[in-house]
Amino acid sequence: MLDLNYIRKHPEEVKKAAEGKHDHADVDRLLELDGERRGLMHESEQLRQRLNEASKEIGRLKKEGKDASAQMSEMKDVSKNIKGYEEKLRRLDGDMKEILLAIPNVPAPDVPAGEDESANERIRSWGEKRGFSYTPRPHWELGVQLDILDLERGAKISGAGFPLFKGPGARLERAMFNFMLDLHTDKHGYKEVFPPFLVNRASMIGTGQLPKLEGDMYKTAGDDLFLIPTSEVPITNIHRDEILDHKQLPLCYTAYTPCFRREAGAHGKDTRGIIRIHQFDKVEMVKFVRPETSPDQLESLLSDAEEVLQLLELPYRVQKLCVGDLSFAAHKCYDIEAWAPGVDRWLEVSSCSNFTDFQARRANIRFRDEDGKVRFVHTLNGSGVALPRTVIALIENYQQADGSVVIPKVLRDYMGGADVIWS
């Protein structure tokens, strides 16, 4: 959520930012309500002042043994009017908050202009695409041949978009997230948590999924709980409505969770294989930092995610997202895309975002600085990294002519010492 003072000072910038993100920000209506609210506040304060004066006058008259009935009658009328103003202010506050929650974050100055992903800026690439003496097979063919992926039985159990991994495929998923958790905790300094997979509405609002993206979420009936679309949601809300000490910052957490998304806006896209599915595994990294450090912390977060791909020896590229491809809550974002030769595509396996104080204002996450001033933290998060697209890239890059898949060296201990998956 943006600071209301910022919107007052930069209304056109906020409108332009929302338009660039393909959102609508009802800034004019917000400022109209804000003006009305400030007028009511002024009138209410004047009535409170009159109430205080009347109370003093009544006390003086009673002390002098004089009749104070007229003043008491007036005080009742003033109190009634104050309650009326308070009710109007509550309604205005609710209307204003509804508008504020629908206004997206403002992009950073160095975010490229552009309508969609075609305008994203290439930052760097790592690794070389492997040459094949044959046409590389896509992961859905390899998965069936190796008996490690069963989409038909997954669909029978739950529906399309819910894959079933089997044997070495299941172990590969487990090996991947254990490897990543060990890397982020042992080398990168994150604290591991294992959060709930269901969250309440306040948590979803706090990170910006609601109200905008409710149609993409899986919701339980009767209790208003949501299956998490990413562990960013429960991790960020660990410190909702808290005031941290500046000595605690930065706070860095990592977690493995399954993630659940309806992908309501992506009907008909990537229907083959497991590129776009409704349930997937992911290791997430979340940071709570001082505002002045968040730009550097984003670069550090990106580096932590990149190291996963480097250790797996998978070719990848880093893209800085343009305004039109930037998420609702993000101020700046990098995507990491791994090369998948079987589908002949770059696949997004991580997004690393700086949200500045946008989420912190929604979730009321603050810290007390050295001078005792209470300020909002900045939050960042990044996939470190997401499965199964990384598994897709791994299987397709490490496939052999005989149909086997070589296991990257860094994963072999996690795979019980195995160095290849055979059919």
Residue type for 321, please? L
- Say if residues 145 and 42 touch (Cβ distance below 8 Å): no
Q: Is 123 helix (H, G, I), strand (E, B) or coil?
A: strand
Please tell me which residue in 231, 300, 351, 353 is annotated as part of the active site: 351
Greatest distance between any 2 Cα atoms in the chain = 108
Count of C-beta atoms within a 10 Å radius of residue 71: 20
Distances (CA, A) of 54 to 40, 62, 69, 72, 83: 21, 12, 11, 8, 17
Q: Which of 171, 261, 345, 366 is catalytic?
A: 261
Distance CA 406, CA 389 (A): 17
Two tokens, residue 375: 């300020």
Peptide bond into 109 cis (omega under 30): no
Q: Count CB-CB contacts under 10 A for residue 117.
A: 13
- Asked if 348 is an active-site residue, the reply is yes
Set 37, 48, 240, 276: catalytic member: 276
Catalytic, 37? Answer: no
Q: Which of 8, 348, 404, 412 is catalytic?
A: 348
408-415 long-range contacts, Cβ below 8 Å, gap at least 24? Answer: 408/311, 408/312, 408/313, 409/313, 410/179, 410/311, 410/312, 411/172, 411/175, 411/176, 411/179, 411/312, 414/174, 414/175, 414/176, 414/178, 414/179, 415/168, 415/171, 415/172, 415/175
Kindly list the strands in the beta sheet with 365-368, ordered across the sheet, starting from the edge strand earlier in the chain.
242-245, 365-368, 374-376
Determine whether 29 is an active site residue.
Answer: no
Q: Answer whether 116's CB lies under 8 Å from 341's CB.
A: no
**Number of CB atoms found within 10 A of residue 294's CB:** 23
Measured in degrees and rounded to the nearest 5, phi and psi for residue 97 equal -65, -40
Residue type, 256: Y
Contact between residue 224 and residue 163 where contact means Cβ atoms under 8 Å apart: no
Is residue 201 part of the annotated active site? The answer reads no
Determine the residue type at 4: L
Of 345, 383, 389, 396, the active-site residue reads: 389
Q: Is 174 a catalytic residue?
A: no
**Residues labelled catalytic:** 261, 276, 348, 351, 389
